[in-house]
Amino acid sequence: MNLQIAGHHIDITPALRSYVENKLDPVLRHFDRVSGVNVILSVEKLKQKAEVTIHVPGKDMHVEESGDDLYAAIDAMFDKLDRQVLKYKQKMQDHRGGKKADIHAVE
């Protein structure tokens, strides 16, 4: 997996990098077929913004969150991403086995 963390108008400190990596771990535990992750952290006047794009087979998921505190924005962003990944994983499992289950239920 390829992880890129970039900052716009902000320096990415080792503490900030490790915080993002720690928040990404639960997402990767829920879905292990992630090929790449791009994280962009930015500061615009008083607004702190965090964006992430995650590359999975067949889809790219993009989430962004902003707020007064960068760490709170990162938390909220990864919560949203985790929900999207779980929904995508469930959809993929339903898609594979769902048609067979419906056919057997009708018979």
Instruction: Give me the phi and psi of 24, to 5 degrees please.
Output: -80, -25
Q: Tell me, what's the pLDDT at 39?
A: 96
Calculate mean pLDDT across residues 66-94.
92
Residue 35: Cβ-neighbour burial (10 angstroms; 0-12, 13-18, 19+): exposed
Distance CA 17, CA 80 (A): 19
- Whether 49 shows a pLDDT value over 80: the answer reads yes
pLDDT beyond 80 at 104: no
Average pLDDT value for residue range 70-97: 89
User: Which of 83, 41, 94 has its CA nearest to residue 61?
Assistant: 83
Give the DSSP letter of residue 32.
Answer: -
